[in-house]
Amino acid sequence: LPFKIGSVYYCNRQESPLAREVSAERVSLEQLANISDILIVCASLNDSTKHIVDATFLKNMKESAFLINTSRGGLVDQNALVEALKMNKIRGAGLDVMTPEPLPLSNALASCPNVVLFPHMGSATTQTREDMASLTVDNVLAALKGKAMPAPIS
């Protein structure tokens, strides 16, 4: 594993074949909070995942741990995160996504010295944006021709 990572853990509803490729161990959500030094949130936002990182989850994290969210702002209870950051319950956070976006400077997260906020730019590479535009064009052209779209949103 790169960066001298000793272990990789993940939490998902089912086993991941990709996880086996890096010898990742599947654990419960509570275990994930307890054992992670750096916890990266990668999930879709739906009714079952909204605020999946809440006050209880943050309380279960190590005081030396970092939380990184690059998925959806609604996955993290931001009020609970602000409290955890201000009380030093976790070491810090890095957020590429927040609720709302853009986050107003008056928001309590903006005043936390142990958080890094990015303006939702995780996919902002030239190649990614070109690929996204190309895929959109391919979808539109296929739909106009009555063909199956290569990447439909369901």
The end-to-end CA distance of the chain, in Å, is 34
Place of tokens 């590479």: 125
Residues labelled as active-site residues: 120
Half-sphere exposure of 3 (CA within 13 A, CB side): 4
Sign, CA dihedral 38-85-100-106, equals: negative
**Among residues 88, 96, 99, which one has the least CA distance to residue 116?**
96
- Region of 88 please: left (phi>0), alpha (psi -120 to 50) or beta: left
Task: Tell me the three state secondary structure of residue 15.
Answer: coil
Between CA 67 and CA 50 the distance in angstroms is 16
Task: Tell me the three state secondary structure of residue 147.
Answer: coil
